């Protein structure tokens, strides 16, 4: 599964005309009003967190830990990770992704549909985009009246590198 | 790789490990034909299998080795150390070939002619000059045996697990055959026990064990852990339910789960003897090389340990035995001169005790040289001269656990390669264990290792600090102290460091709230102190509440959270909540650091020579308006005597005190005795001789931490300190005792003087 998604990433990175006919399937979600997408192949689960156990002294991006069907999953606060306005007190939804056998879950405001986008809809991130976002982004997709920022899960979870 | 070949490699490596051990045993007792038979059979099997698999090089080497062994067996060839060394070399060579075979999948090119020639020459009875077996190579090659993917699991255990699972598998029909596995399982058990009694791997044991991939067992263990957690959750739900409908089946599930857990846990267990297997060989090679005579005594080799733990302690154990053999045990001449038997003994002992495994490594060698350790510590900049001077012998010996410390003057092939006891300690502490050491000059050194039985499931205390719950492994918790705001023990602070007075000892404390930045400490409410012991270091952790103890499954934290020294992992509790597991080692390092930062200001040994930093002090004034203090412990009693009772003998003031003459001393030259009324005295005692220190006024008795701020301005003072908020001179009683000793009444003079005093 990971192998497939990696292939997809490469296809996107290629960005040339040969990437145009690749279909991208994204699980979409909103964080602070912005639409994001991660490759659906990386998504393991979507759930509403019950209790999030804090991890004192942990990285700011780590909201805590949850018990997802007997597995301990690290909750990444996407508001913090993407340097967006602080989350409202609402609960949010968790999008669990897999990274080298470890599970992480992205705490987002709401989850949207799974969308199927043609490679031709992809645009390189605009140069004016905040560099921290540009680093995490795999491209921007035109989607009806909205723009979807595709996220690179591996880089998204590489919190240490950022620091 | 070819599966057949793979299996051959694993099996042969195991056989070779057994061969090593057996040969060394055989060398010691060459009359035991049973051992020889065993050795011969093992070599023969290797040869046979090689032939079968088409491995001509291996076959020819094994064949030549077998020839020599055959001559031993038939009594045609005497068993000499040289001959055994040659066989060991042959085994090493086979190992080398196996390693290359494992890497390349086929036999490497090469010429075994010289070795085979030597073996054949030995077999035909010609004298051969034998270089010693390359011990280092043997170790390097021996290592892969233990890194194999699979290890044997006793069939009985598998049968047990299968049995526990049996009722769960609904599809399995209850047939008359079900009763049959029972007697069948009984037989291997007896065989296994017999094998254990013999303290050797009998070939029969192979029949009672099968090879299981480690991953399978690890996976099984994870699944069991999940079942345990789910069971706990179900139990909790049941407790909150009104209905009893699930009670009975749940109990049954609970029971089976426990058995299953037990079974799988035991499946992971391996006798500690596995980790010892190569030690006899190492010690033997070392003896041959150094001319020492060492007996390696093994006890409790059948003590079972979790596989993971075994892996972790294998290298430390090897290192320690090597150390004992190389540095501990002296050469025969030195031993004889010291009046000890020429043959030194290294004792290796393991036993179970209360959920822990204790491993003792003791030698009867020269013991650690405290002076050399001092010099070395100084030379390596581990401590300053003053620090070392203030240390007790035992503290000095602890230096060997410091990184980069090795007392070996001479680097031999077996030890002194820079990997020291610090690595040993780190490895042991990493698995939640502890190591202690005791050494007596000329008598030997003993190491005691304490490790938890299994790594996967530990008993932990659930506690709370700053509204968050944490788990703390119980192995390091010595006791729990309630520190109340009004009652119970009191948490005190020295500067900003919290301490607890616990049975005359001062315990450094760390507050979990502060450490984990969970907000300020709530000083005015009841708190708890968990007294911890990590290694030889004791400290306390302040927490808000302590709940109960729970069996938890330690899971590693996500990579994103690693690097925090205070967490050992995380887990899911019975109620389904996720909780962080604290690392006693990390917290102890913090407490130790905080502690040693204060050390510079503390007078550890103070007047009474006690290892305390807080003491009861008596405050008084004498010969000046400033406050003076003396350790209360040093004082026998406080007396007030009538001024008229003070007499003069030979220019000295004395007083009759309990049928003895007690000399009186002034604190300084400015002091005067009272003319009339009562004269306060502090009476202290030196070897039964009372001694009076004249004071002007006794002010108070306080409990205080002593932190000397200023150096002494005159003789008889230790220095100045802040006591109860006031600058105070600390009086050195020892100075007065020594001063008095010079002027003291000698024993033989006492009757005359005493009599004179009475008449005067």
For residue B247, pLDDT beyond 60: yes
Residue indicated by tokens 């294998």: B314
CB contact A101 to B (< 8 Å) = no
For residues A12 and B328, give the distance between their C-alpha atoms in angstroms, rounded to a whole number. Answer: 65
For residue B379, pLDDT beyond 60: yes
Chain B residue numbers with beta carbons less than 8 Å from the beta carbon of A102 are 558-559
What pLDDT does residue A160 have? 67
Q: What is the mean pLDDT of residues B287-296?
A: 87
Using alpha carbons, select from B299, B303, B346 the residue that is nearest to residue B327.
Answer: B346
Quick one: pLDDT band at residue A3, thresholds 50, 70, 90? very low
Quick one: pLDDT band at residue B236, thresholds 50, 70, 90? confident
Looking at every residue in chain B, the average pLDDT score rounds to: 74
Beta bridge partners of B751: none
Using alpha carbons, select from B641, B632, B630 the residue that is nearest to residue B678.
Answer: B641
Q: Which residue has the higher pLDDT, A46 or B411?
A: A46
Instruction: Give A104-127 pLDDT, tens digit per residue.
Output: 999 999 999 999 988 888 888 888
Quick one: pLDDT band at residue B709, thresholds 50, 70, 90? low
What pLDDT does residue B615 have? 67
Residue indicated by tokens 């300020």: B520
What pLDDT does residue B748 have? 41
Interface of B with A in 409-438 (CB under 8 A): none
Q: Which residue has the higher pLDDT, A41 or B734?
A: A41
What pLDDT does residue A94 have? 92
Quick one: pLDDT band at residue A19, thresholds 50, 70, 90? low
Distances in whole angstroms, Cα of residue B516 to Cα of each of A115, B543, B566: 42, 11, 8
What pLDDT does residue A28 have? 94
Quick one: pLDDT band at residue B419, thresholds 50, 70, 90? low
Q: What is the mean pLDDT of residues B91-105?
A: 81
What pLDDT does residue B750 have? 44
For residue B404, pLDDT beyond 60: yes
Chain B residue numbers with beta carbons less than 8 Å from the beta carbon of A58 are 561, 564
Question: HSE of B291 in the Cβ direction (CA atoms, 13 Å)?
Answer: 5
Chain B residue numbers with beta carbons less than 8 Å from the beta carbon of A160 are 560
Q: What is the mean pLDDT of residues B614-619?
A: 74
Instruction: Give A80-105 pLDDT, tens digit per residue.
Output: 888 887 655 567 899 999 887 788 99
For residue B148, pLDDT beyond 60: no
Q: Is A140 helix (H, G, I), strand (E, B) or coil?
A: strand
Interface with B, mutate which of A62, A68, A70 (most B CBs under 10 A) = A70
For residue B140, pLDDT beyond 50: no
- Closest-CA residue of A relative to B229 is A70
Q: Which residue has the higher pLDDT, A61 or B229?
A: A61
Residue A56 and residue B517: Cβ atoms within 8 Å? yes
- Closest-CA residue of B relative to A104 is B558
What pLDDT does residue B287 have? 87
Residue A74 and residue B558: Cβ atoms within 8 Å? yes
Residue A62 and residue B561: Cβ atoms within 8 Å? yes
Under DSSP, the state recorded for A48 is -
Residue indicated by tokens 């066989």: B87
Handedness of CA B305, B309, B311, B312 (dihedral sign): negative
For residues B590 and B582, give the distance between their C-alpha atoms in angstroms, rounded to a whole number. Answer: 13
Residue B560 and residue A59: Cβ atoms within 8 Å? yes
Q: What is the mean pLDDT of residues B477-495?
A: 78
Instruction: Give B169-213 pLDDT, tens digit per residue.
Output: 444 444 444 434 444 444 444 444 444 444 444 444 445 677 788
Instruction: Give B34-82 pLDDT, tens digit per residue.
Output: 777 778 778 878 887 787 777 888 888 888 888 888 887 777 777 777 8
Quick one: pLDDT band at residue B470, thresholds 50, 70, 90? very high
- In this structure, the number of other CB atoms found within 10 A of the CB of residue B53 comes to 15
Check if the beta carbon of residue B8 is closer than 8 Å to that of residue B49: yes
For residue B577, pLDDT beyond 80: yes
For residue B628, pLDDT beyond 80: yes
For residue B168, pLDDT beyond 60: no
Give CA B183 to chain center in angstroms: 42
Q: Which residues of B295-316 are buried (b: 16+ CB within 10 A; e: fewer)?
A: ebebebbebbbbbbbbbbbbbb
Using alpha carbons, select from B549, B495, B493, B503 the residue that is nearest to residue B523.
Answer: B493
For residue B368, pLDDT beyond 80: yes
- Residue A79 tokens read as 């508001």
Quick one: pLDDT band at residue B147, thresholds 50, 70, 90? very low
For residue B605, pLDDT beyond 60: no
For residues B183 and B189, give the distance between their C-alpha atoms in angstroms, rounded to a whole number. Answer: 10
For residues B394 and B406, give the distance between their C-alpha atoms in angstroms, rounded to a whole number. Answer: 17
For residue B378, pLDDT beyond 80: yes
Three-state SS string across B617-664, please?
A: EEEEECCCCCEEEEEHHHEEEEEEEEHHHEEEECCEEEEEECCEEEEE
Percent of chain A exceeding pLDDT 90 equals 28
For residue B462, pLDDT beyond 90: yes
Q: Which residue has the higher pLDDT, B161 or B586?
A: B586
What pLDDT does residue B654 have? 84
What pLDDT does residue B612 have? 38
What pLDDT does residue B741 have? 66
Interface of B with A in 650-679 (CB under 8 A): none
The string of DSSP letters for B394-454 reads HHHHGGGGSTT----SS--SSS-SS--HHHHHHHHHHTT-EEEEEEETTTEEEEEEEEES-
- Closest-CA residue of B relative to A154 is B560
CB contact B570 to A (< 8 Å) = yes
- Residue B370 tokens read as 């405290």
Quick one: pLDDT band at residue A5, thresholds 50, 70, 90? very low
- Residue B346 tokens read as 């290294």
Strand-pair category, A62-68 with A23-31? unpaired
Percent of chain B exceeding pLDDT 90 equals 4
- Closest-CA residue of A relative to B574 is A70
Chain A residue numbers with beta carbons less than 8 Å from the beta carbon of B555 are 72
Quick one: pLDDT band at residue B730, thresholds 50, 70, 90? confident
Nearest CB to A157; choose among B466, B560, B579: B560
What pLDDT does residue B212 have? 80
- Residue B55 tokens read as 């491995």
Instruction: Give B311-365 pLDDT, tens digit per residue.
Output: 878 888 888 888 888 888 888 888 998 888 888 899 999 987 766 788 999 999 8
Chain B closest-CA separation from residue A56 CA (Å): 6
Percent of chain B exceeding pLDDT 70 equals 76
Check if the beta carbon of residue B594 is closer than 8 Å to that of residue B499: no
CB contact B580 to A (< 8 Å) = yes
Using alpha carbons, select from B232, B239, B227, B225 the residue that is nearest to residue B573.
Answer: B232
- Closest-CA residue of A relative to B512 is A56
Nearest CB to B577; choose among A55, A58, A67: A67
CB contact B572 to A (< 8 Å) = yes
Q: Which residue has the higher pLDDT, B605 or B420?
A: B420
Residue A72 and residue B555: Cβ atoms within 8 Å? yes
ipTM of this model? 0.81
- Lowest-pLDDT choice from A150-159, B390-399, B417-426, B621-630: B417-426
């Amino acid at each position: 599964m990971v192998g497939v998604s990696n292939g997809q990433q490469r296809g996107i990175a290629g960005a040339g005309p040969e990437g145009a006919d690749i279909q991208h399937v994204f699980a979409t979600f909103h964080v602070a009003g912005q639409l994001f997408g991660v490759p659906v192949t990386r998504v393991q689960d979507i759930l509403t967190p019950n209790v999030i156990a804090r991890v004192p002294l942990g990285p700011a991006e780590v909201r805590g830990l949850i018990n997802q069907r007997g597995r301990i999953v690290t909750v990444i606060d996407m508001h913090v990770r993407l340097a967006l306005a602080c989350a409202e007190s609402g609960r949010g939804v968790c999008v669990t992704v897999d990274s080298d056998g470890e599970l992480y879950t992205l705490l987002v405001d709401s989850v949207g549909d799974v969308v199927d986008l043609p490679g031709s809809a992809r645009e390189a991130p605009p140069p004016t985009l905040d560099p921290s976002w540009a680093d995490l982004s795999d491209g921007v997709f035109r989607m009806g009246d909205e723009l979807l920022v595709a996220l690179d899960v591996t880089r998204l979870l590489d919190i240490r590198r950022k620091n | 790789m070819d599966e057949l070949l793979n299996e051959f490699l694993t099996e042969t490596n195991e056989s070779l490990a057994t061969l090593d051990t057996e040969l060394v045993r055989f060398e010691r007792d060459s009359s035991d034909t049973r051992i020889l038979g065993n050795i011969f059979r093992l070599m023969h099997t290797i040869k046979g299998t090689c032939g079968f698999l088409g491995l001509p090089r291996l076959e020819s080497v094994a064949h030549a080795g077998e020839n020599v062994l055959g001559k031993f067996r038939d009594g045609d060839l005497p068993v000499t150390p040289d001959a055994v060394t040659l066989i060991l070399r042959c085994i090493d060579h086979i190992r080398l070939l196996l390693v290359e075979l494992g890497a390349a999948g086929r036999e490497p090119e090469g010429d075994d002619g010289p070795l085979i020639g030597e073996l054949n020459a030995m077999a035909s009875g010609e004298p051969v000059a034998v270089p010693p077996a390359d011990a280092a190579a043997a170790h390097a090659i021996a290592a892969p045996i233990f890194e194999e993917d699979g290890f044997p699991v006793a069939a009985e255990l598998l049968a047990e697990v299968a049995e526990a699972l049996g009722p769960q598998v609904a599809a399995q029909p209850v047939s008359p055959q079900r009763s049959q596995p029972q007697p069948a399982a009984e037989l291997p058990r007896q065989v296994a026990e017999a094998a254990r009694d013999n303290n050797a791997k009998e070939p029969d044991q192979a029949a009672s064990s099968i090879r299981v991939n480690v991953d399978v067992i690890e996976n099984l263990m994870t699944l069991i852990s999940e079942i345990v957690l789910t069971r706990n959750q179900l139990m909790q739900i049941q407790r909150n339910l009104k209905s009893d409908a699930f009670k009975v089946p749940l109990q049954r599930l609970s029971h089976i789960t426990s058995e299953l857990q037990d079974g799988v846990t035991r499946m992971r267990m391996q006798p500690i003897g596995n980790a010892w297997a190569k030690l006899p060989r190492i010690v033997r090679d070392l003896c041959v090389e150094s001319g020492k005579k060492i007996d390696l005594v093994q006890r409790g080799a059948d003590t079972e340990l979790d596989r993971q733990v075994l892996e972790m302690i294998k290298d430390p154990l090897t290192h320690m035995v090597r150390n004992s053999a190389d540095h501990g045990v002296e050469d025969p001449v030195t031993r004889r001169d010291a009046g000890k038997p020429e043959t030194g003994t290294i004792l290796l002992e393991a036993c179970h005790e209360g959920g822990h495994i204790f491993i003792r490594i003791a030698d009867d060698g020269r013991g650690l040289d405290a002076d050399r350790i001092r010099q070395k510590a100084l030379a390596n900049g581990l401590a300053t001269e003053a620090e070392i001077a203030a240390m007790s012998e035992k503290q000095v010996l602890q230096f060997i656990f410091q990184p980069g410390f090795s007392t070996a003057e001479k680097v031999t092939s077996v030890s002194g390669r820079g990997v020291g006891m610090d690595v040993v300690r780190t490895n042991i502490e990493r698995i939640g264990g502890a190591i202690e050491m005791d050494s007596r000059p000329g008598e030997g050194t003993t190491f005691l290792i304490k490790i938890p039985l299994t790594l996967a499931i530990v008993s932990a205390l659930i506690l709370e600090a700053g509204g968050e719950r944490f788990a703390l492994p119980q192995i390091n918790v010595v006791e729990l102290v309630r520190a109340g705001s009004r009652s119970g023990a009191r948490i005190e602070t020295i500067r900003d460091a919290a301490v607890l007075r616990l049975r005359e000892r001062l315990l450094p404390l760390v507050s979990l709230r502060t450490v984990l930045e969970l907000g300020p400490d709530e000083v005015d409410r009841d708190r708890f102190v968990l007294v911890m012991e990590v290694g030889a270091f004791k400290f306390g952790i302040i927490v808000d509440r302590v709940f109960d103890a729970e069996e938890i499954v330690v899971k590693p934290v996500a990579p994103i959270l690693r690097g925090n020294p205070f967490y050992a992992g995380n887990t899911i509790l019975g109620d389904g909540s996720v909780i962080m597991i604290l690392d006693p080692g990390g917290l102890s390092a913090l407490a130790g650091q905080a502690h040693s930062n204060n050390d510079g200001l503390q007078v550890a040994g103070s007047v009474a020579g006690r290892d305390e930093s807080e003491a009861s002090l008596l405050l008084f004034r004498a010969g000046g308006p400033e406050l003076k203090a003396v350790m209360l412990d040093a004082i026998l009693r406080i007396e007030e005597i009538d001024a008229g009772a003070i007499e003069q003998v030979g220019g000295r003031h004395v007083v009759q005190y309990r049928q003895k003459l007690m000399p009186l001393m002034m604190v300084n030259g400015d002091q005067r005795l009272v003319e009339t009324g009562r004269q306060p005295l502090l009476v202290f005692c030196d070897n039964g001789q009372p001694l009076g220190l004249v004071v002007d006024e006794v002010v108070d008795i306080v409990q205080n931490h002593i932190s000397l701020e200023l150096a002494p301005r005159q003789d008889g003072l230790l220095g100045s300190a802040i006591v109860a908020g006031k600058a105070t001179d600390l009086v050195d009683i020892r100075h007065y005792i020594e001063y008095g000793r010079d002027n003291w009444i000698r024993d033989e003079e006492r009757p005359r003087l005493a009599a004179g005093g009475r008449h005067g």
